[in-house]
């Protein structure tokens, strides 16, 4: 009987070990696969031909696979999204963690969770029919399909991620800090902005990093509202083509094993490396803050 | 002792799963031959082919046909991979695709089921009524960037194009741009409906869609002149059939080899007077 139990224990442990290491294995395999498919483009074209500002994958003249416009597009949209989302989300987090009454909190939190759960195609649709005409009107542009619309839509999508992690961080600031500050005669506002928020700063930064990770990988929404022109944007009102939208739009068409196919994998590999790096930094920052607790 | 029994049990389970896993796909492939057809490809044709399929399935209950879009290239790729019996495409196979097809032992046979005209559309507020083919080429390749260069007001031109997985994109590039590259500033829009949507709202835009789509929206369709001297032609059924309207193309259904069984019945239906009448109803030009 005991022997059986020991066996079972071991078996269960092994099963969980396998499931736990599965995600590591999957990430490693994806990296290997993307890297292999993507980097083999350099067998066909030199590195310099990928670092140009023209993305013309389908051309009767000369196909060109310059990733600069795609990289610039993704970065611009992400920057706009974060500039828009951070004040909104951090403000909300401070309110929920410090100011809101328990009842208000109970009321607000489900809505934020719903916001996180909206499918990106629905966001894209809303962006296309509501936000894009609005942006066009407000800035009197010829069309509302541009980086700004994409950035605003993505900002809305990043907000829930940033709120929930920032709120955790603010809430985890030890009560004694606040009490000390209040005891020294600081007002509530002073305590919040001079003591609580700085103490939670690394958590907030981590939440922003994770928000960036969420935004840079978003596909459907940006594909629907940014106009997808592969140019290096000069302003937020230019159309941009992000890396994600490029892969989504072109992967279905591309002949297997062609240069275009490898180019798309290269774009995917770069995208994965960026998100990986961002998440890694976020985890580092988060870890540091937890240790300091 | 117990652990041995468990080992036996697990290995038996493993064998059952493995052999079971082997049998299933074989069964499925066999089942597909009967009354189940998949058709994949051109977004332009989804409308039309769905109309055919609906009528055909009414007439022949028990036959199950699924139609999916995704673009001509997607359909052709599916045919190459063997994941569809019929591919719908608004363009012919490219040279590199034909090479792939040969390697896999597939012989795609085109069936020209109808003709499609491509309308050049602009925002309803645009004062321009007609453009020549050469002007269109220069607008879409980025040489002309302002409406005043073609006799309109001083307003920048915003180009709307389909994504590069679209058969319409490739066709327009070949026939109108004369194989030039599109201007880099062209906005690539994922669907025809979204192009209509954008053209309804935004000033100064120019785009292209199949004529059936152009009729569905509040957009202005331009007349097209083959050369500067000739009169502008409206893309109507008659003008496309007679060849007076310059931007039109065949819509293909591709089968692997000559169609047999249910695929053959379906394609026969498409070419029947009833099938061709449906093409006309939906907004395309019948070939028979």
Express each pLDDT in B129-161 by its tens digit.
999 999 999 999 999 999 999 999 999 999 999
A245 and A121 in one domain? yes
Per residue of chain A (293 residues), give pLDDT as tens.
567 778 888 999 999 999 989 989 999 999 999 999 999 999 988 988 889 999 998 888 888 999 999 999 999 999 999 999 999 999 999 999 999 999 999 999 999 999 999 999 999 999 998 999 999 999 988 888 999 999 999 999 999 999 999 999 999 999 999 999 999 999 999 999 999 999 999 899 999 999 999 999 999 999 999 999 999 999 999 999 999 999 998 887 677 788 899 999 999 999 999 999 998 998 888 777 654 44
**Percentage of chain B lying above the pLDDT 70 cut:** 88
* Residue of B158, B179, B184 lying closest to A231 (CB–CB): B184
Q: Across the strands, what pairs with B187?
A: B160
Residue A128 and residue B194: Cβ atoms within 8 Å? yes
Which of B62-66, B94-98, B178-182, B234-238 has the weakest average pLDDT?
B94-98
Chain B partners of A56 at a C-beta cutoff of 8 Å? 181, 184
Cα–Cα distance for residue pair A144/A140, rounded to 1 Å: 9
Contact B202 A223 (CB under 8 A): no
Residue B193 sits at the chain A interface (C-beta within 8 Å): no
- Interface confidence (ipTM) of the complex: 0.79
Q: What local confidence, expressed as pLDDT, does residue B29 receive?
A: 37
Domain hosting A22: range is: 2-43
Is the pLDDT score of B28 beyond 50? no
Q: Which residue of B has its CA nearest to A136?
A: B202
Q: Are residues A177 and A115 in the same domain?
A: yes
Question: In B, residues 194-233, which contact A (CB 8 Å cutoff)?
Answer: 194, 197-198, 201-205
Q: pLDDT at position A121, please?
A: 92
Identical fold for domains B2-115+250-286 and B117-242, yes or no, is: yes
Does any domain span residue A67? yes
Contacts of B38 (CB under 8 A, 6+ apart): B65, B66, B68, B83, B84, B85, B86
Question: How far apart are alpha carbons B181 and B165 in whole angstroms?
Answer: 15
Answer whether residue B11 shows pLDDT above 80.
no
pLDDT, one tens digit per residue, over B154-195 is 999 999 999 887 888 988 998 999 999 999 999 999 888 889
Report strand pairing: B108-122 vs B220-221: antiparallel
Q: Per the CB < 8 Å rule, is B187 touching A228?
A: yes
Q: Is A112 found in the same domain as A154? A: yes
The residue among A145, A150, A257 with the most chain B CBs within 10 A of its CB, best to mutate, is: A145
How does residue B221 score in pLDDT terms, banded at 50, 70 and 90?
very high
As a whole number of angstroms, the distance between CA A214 and CA A216 comes to 6
Residue B225 pLDDT grade (very low, low, confident, very high; cuts 50, 70, 90): very high
In this structure, which CATH number among 1.10.3720.10, 3.40.190.10, 2.60.120.1060, 3.30.2020.10 belongs to the domain B2-115+250-286? Answer: 3.40.190.10
Mutation target vs A (from B190, B204, B207; most A CBs, 10 A cutoff): B190
Domain match, A18 and A64 both: no
CA distance B207 to B183: 13
Q: Where are the beta strands (DSSP E) in A8-75?
A: 55-56, 64-65
- CB contact (8 A) between residue B164 and residue A249: yes
Q: Quickly count: other Cβ atoms within 10 Å of residue A167's Cβ.
A: 26
Please check whether residues A108 and A13 belong to one and the same domain. no
Cβ contact, residue pair A227, B96, below 8 Å: no
pLDDT greater than 50 at residue B213: yes
* Residue B79, Ramachandran bin (φ over 0: left; ψ between -120 and 50: alpha; else beta): alpha
Q: Do B201 and A144 touch (CB under 8 A)?
A: yes
Q: Count other Cβ atoms within 10 Å, centred on residue A70.
A: 25
Cβ count near B14 (within 10 Å): 10
Q: For residues A39 and A132, state if they share a domain.
A: no
Give chain A positions within 8 Å (CB) of B90: none
Mean pLDDT, chain B, integer? 85
Q: Is the pLDDT of residue B207 over 50?
A: yes
Alpha carbon of B269: minimum distance to chain A alpha carbons (Å)? 29
Q: Is the pLDDT of residue B119 over 90?
A: yes
pTM, 2 dp: 0.78
Does some domain include residue A80?
Answer: yes
Same domain, A90 and A39: no
B184, B186, B204: best mutation site toward chain A, by most A Cβ within 10 Å? B184
Query: In the 8-state DSSP scheme, what is residue B232?
Result: P
Asked, for residue A127, whether it belongs to a domain, the answer is yes
What CATH fold (topology level) applies to the domain B117-242?
Answer: D-Maltodextrin-Binding Protein; domain 2 (3.40.190)
Of the candidates A145, A249, A250, the beta carbon closest to that of B187 is on A145
Q: Do A145 and B73 touch (CB under 8 A)?
A: no
Q: What's the pLDDT score for residue B105? A: 86
- Give residue B20's pLDDT band: very low, low, confident or very high (50, 70, 90): very low
Number of domains in chain A: 2
For position A277, what pLDDT does the model report?
93
What pLDDT does residue A149 have? 95
Q: Are residues A26 and A107 in the same domain?
A: no
Q: With CB atoms and an 8 Å threshold, state whether B3 touches A132.
A: no
Which residue in chain B is spatially nearest to A234 when comparing CA positions? B185
CA B206 to chain centre: 20
- Closest-CA residue of chain A to B166: A253
Domain chopping of chain B, boundaries: 2-115+250-286, 117-242
């Amino acid at each position: 009987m005991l022997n059986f139990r020991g066996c079972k224990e071991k078996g269960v442990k092994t099963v969980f070990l396998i499931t736990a290491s599965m995600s590591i294995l999957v990430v490693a395999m994806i990296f290997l696969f993307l890297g292999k498919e993507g980097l083999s483009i350099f067998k066909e074209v030199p590195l310099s031909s990928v670092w140009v500002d023209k993305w013309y994958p389908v051309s009767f003249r000369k196909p060109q696979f310059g990733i600069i416009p795609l990289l610039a597009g993704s970065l611009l949209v992400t920057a706009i999204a974060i500039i828009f989302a951070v004040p909104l989300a951090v403000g909300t987090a401070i309110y929920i963690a410090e100011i809101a009454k328990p009842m208000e909190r109970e009321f607000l939190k489900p809505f934020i969770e719903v916001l996180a759960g909206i499918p990106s195609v629905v966001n894209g649709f809303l962006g296309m029919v509501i936000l894009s005409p609005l942006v066009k009107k407000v800035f009197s542009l010829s069309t509302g399909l541009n980086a700004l619309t994409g950035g605003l839509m993505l900002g809305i999508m990043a907000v829930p991620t940033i709120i929930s992690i920032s709120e955790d961080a603010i809430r985890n600031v030890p009560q004694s800090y606040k009490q000390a500050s209040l005891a020294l005669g600081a007002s509530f506002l002073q305590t919040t902005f001079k003591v609580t928020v700085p103490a939670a700063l690394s958590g907030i930064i981590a939440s922003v990093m994770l928000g960036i990770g969420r935004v840079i990988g978003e596909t459907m929404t940006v594909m629907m509202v940014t106009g997808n022109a592969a140019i290096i944007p000069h302003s937020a009102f230019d159309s941009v083509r992000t890396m994600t939208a490029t892969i989504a739009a072109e992967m279905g068409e591309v002949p297997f094993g062609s240069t275009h196919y490898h180019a798309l994998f290269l774009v995917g590999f770069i995208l994965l490396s960026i998100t990986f790096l961002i998440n890694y930094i976020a985890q580092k920052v988060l870890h540091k803050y937890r240790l300091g607790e | 002792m117990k652990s041995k029994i468990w080992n036996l049990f697990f290995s038996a389970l493993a064998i059952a799963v493995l052999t079971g896993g082997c049998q299933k796909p074989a069964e499925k492939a066999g089942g597909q031959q009967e009354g189940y057809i998949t058709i994949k490809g051109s977004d332009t044709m989804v409308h039309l082919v769905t109309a055919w399929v609906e009528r055909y399935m009414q007439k022949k209950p028990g036959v199950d046909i699924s139609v999916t879009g995704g673009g001509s290239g997607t359909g052709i790729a599916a045919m190459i991979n063997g994941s569809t019996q019929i591919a719908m495409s608004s363009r012919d196979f490219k040279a590199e695709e034909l090479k792939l097809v040969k390697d896999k032992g597939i012989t795609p046979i085109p069936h020209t089921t109808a003709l499609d005209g491509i309308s050049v559309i602009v925002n309803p507020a645009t004062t321009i009524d007609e453009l020549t083919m050469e002007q269109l080429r220069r607008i879409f390749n980025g040489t002309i960037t302002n409406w005043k260069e073609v006799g309109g007001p001083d307003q920048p031109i915003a180009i709307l194009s389909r994504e590069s997985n679209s058969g319409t994109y490739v066709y327009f590039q070949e026939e109108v741009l004369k194989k030039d590259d599109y201007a880099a500033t062209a906005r690539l829009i994922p669907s025809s409906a979204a192009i209509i949507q954008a053209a309804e709202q935004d000033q100064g835009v120019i785009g292209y869609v199949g004529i059936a789509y152009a009729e569905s929206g509040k957009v202005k369709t331009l007349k097209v002149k083959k050369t500067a001297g000739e009169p502008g032609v409206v893309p109507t059924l008659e003008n496309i059939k007679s060849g007076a309207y310059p931007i039109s193309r065949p819509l293909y259904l591709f089968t692997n080899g000559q169609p047999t069984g249910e695929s053959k019945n379906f394609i026969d239906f498409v070419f029947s007077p009833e099938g061709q009448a449906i093409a006309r109803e939906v907004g395309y030009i019948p070939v028979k």
